[in-house]
Structure 1
Amino acid sequence: MPQLDVDGAALTYDDEGPRDGDGVPLVFVHGWTANRHRWDHQMEHFAQKRRVVRLDLRGHGDSDGAGARRIEELAADVLALLDHLKIDRFVLVGHSMGGMISQTIALAHPERVERLVLVNSISRMTYSRGRGLLMAASTLVPFKLFVATNIQRAFAPGYPREEIREYIRGSSATPREVVMTCYGAMRAFDVLDRVGEIRIPTLLVHGYHDIQLPVSQMLRMAKAYPDAVVRIVDAGHELPVEKPEELTTVLDGFLTGRG
């Protein structure tokens, strides 16, 4: 696993696929408490024909480093990696917090982003009453219980419990400081009034059963995007692993102009 030292963090990443393949490289950015393996299905599919890059954000997965207090810090990490790999132009695909990072990059460097894909993500962090109470209670309950509750809520009803337990174990390995610091960064994130500046083809894919970041919040964001395609999938918040084949198909269609 290659790593790159960026501002005190060793970022683990994968860089696969032909350098002279179809189109510009795809860059996949995972969400809060997750890791780059959320994109396994997409990585396997797209790396057959084009260059594909994914990374573990600082403090997540196989990367070390302290948590980021602002989404802009995580965006800077992604750009540092792409500069290191000499990738000037790319397609960004971000899930949840990764979508916030992707929007931040698209706003700061529109000339580098050919297309933008936001999976179960939003432009302004807004909490339902239940979600707000859960986050408020985060300092009062054991950390592992807090993480487990969040991950359990992320999946649509009926998803296999044993698989959910695996994701809970993976998320629980993320250091508490990283989890809570990145939570603060997401809580402060708000670019809803600026997304109209993103004038590149954009795909918004969302799980119908997402109660972490509800569809209604995504649709509010969609109205602000000047050139957005919206797809709703029968899944929860963890769409990349709940319905990986369907997400890959939707993404493939968007990249090739077939959907």
Structure 2
Amino acid sequence: MPFATVNDHSLHYTDIAPLSSSQPSPRTLIFVHGLGSTQNYYFPIFPYLTSYRCIIFDNYGAGRSNFKAGTETSIESVGKDVLALLDHLKVDKAIVVGYSMGGMVPTQLASTSPSRVEAAILIGPVHPSPQVAEVFKQRVPKVQSEGMESMANTIPNAATGPQATALQKAFIREQLLAQDPQGYIANCRAIERATPPLYHDVRVPALIIAGEVDKSAPLEGCKLIFESLGSEKTRKRLEVLQGVGHWHCVEAPDEVGRLVREFVEGM
């Protein structure tokens, strides 16, 4: 399994080469997953992205990227990991894709390191607020006392839409059970302490994909982010998936995959 040591910790990543491409130098996409998931969250949409290089990694403290006790993480540190992994793989510029907690990273990087970001794709992005902070603050003592079972037994039903299948919910449950509780807690605290990125400084093409019944990243927050982006009106899009909750790439992989492909093709 490929690991990269960046910023004093090890990240497990997957680097998928394009199967075919009409471009002499195909675009590179790098994917940042959300709280409680892993890089596997994105795999259902990759059949739509075979013309591009796709780099996916487990966030520090999630999946196979082990967490060191006594350390912390933040949206800014995840962004630094993205840039360091791109450096490790000798990639100058990429389309940054982020989901949920990771959905804050494309705008954070586009506003602070614009030379490294070709475009931003936000899937169910969390918009930091006192209300959001309180939700994730409350998860910490629950996981401390009950472990990941407490999340695995509730989130697959509570955070999906009415069309989600039992198999999809089982996949979500497995990702949650695979989490290191301490890493999950550190990432809960990262969301709790997050502040909104400087949306108005984002000038790159941007796509936001929202779930109509997403309770974790409500449509209102996605609309606020969309309106706040500094990207020109013709270079930003907001797409709403009907009947979809917070696990977009699992609940509606065909819709998400097509939207991402169409957006990249149209750049």
Identity %: 25
The equivalent residue for 1:241 is 250
- 1:68-96 per-residue CA deviation (whole Å, 9 max, x = no partner) reads 43211111111111001000011011111
Q: Distance in 2 between matches of 1:18 and 1:129?
A: 39
Q: Distance in 2 between matches of 1:237 and 1:49?
A: 27
The equivalent residue for 2:162 is 157
The equivalent residue for 1:17 is 17
Match for residue 186 of structure 1 among 175, 191, 213? 191
Task: Say whether 1:172 aligns with 2:180.
Answer: no
Change (3 A) 1:210 1:95: same
Instruction: Show the 5 A alignment for 1:56-135.
Output: 56-66=58-68, 68-127=72-131, 131=135, 135=139
Q: Distance in 2 between matches of 1:25 and 1:213?
A: 26
Unaligned runs of 5+ in 2: none
Change (3 A) 1:123 1:224: same
- The TM-score with structure 2 as length reference comes to 0.86
Match for residue 53 of structure 2 among 51, 54, 72? 51
The equivalent residue for 2:36 is 33
Amino acid aligned to 1:38: Y
Change (3 A) 1:132 1:44: closer
Contact 2:210 2:240 in 1 (8 A): yes
Q: Distance in 1 between matches of 2:84 and 2:134?
A: 37
Unaligned runs of 5+ in 1: none
Change (3 A) 1:20 1:84: farther
The equivalent residue for 1:207 is 211
1:112 Cα deviation from its structure 2 partner: 1.3
RMSD: 2.5
Amino acid aligned to 2:207: L
Amino acid aligned to 2:93: R
Contact 2:137 2:192 in 1 (8 A): no
Q: Distance in 1 between matches of 2:137 and 2:61?
A: 26
Tell me how many residue pairs correspond in the alignment: 256
Change (3 A) 1:28 1:113: same
Amino acid aligned to 1:247: V
1:144 Cα deviation from its structure 2 partner: 2.9
Change (3 A) 1:88 1:128: closer
3-state SS, counterpart of residue 217 of structure 1: helix
1:246 Cα deviation from its structure 2 partner: 0.4
Contact 1:68 1:181 in 2 (8 A): yes
Q: Distance in 2 between matches of 1:237 and 1:122?
A: 10
Change (3 A) 1:226 1:40: same
Amino acid aligned to 2:62: H
3-state SS, counterpart of residue 221 of structure 2: helix
Change (3 A) 1:4 1:130: closer
- The TM-score with structure 1 as length reference comes to 0.89
Amino acid aligned to 1:238: W
The equivalent residue for 1:256 is 265
Match for residue 230 of structure 1 among 231, 235, 238? 238
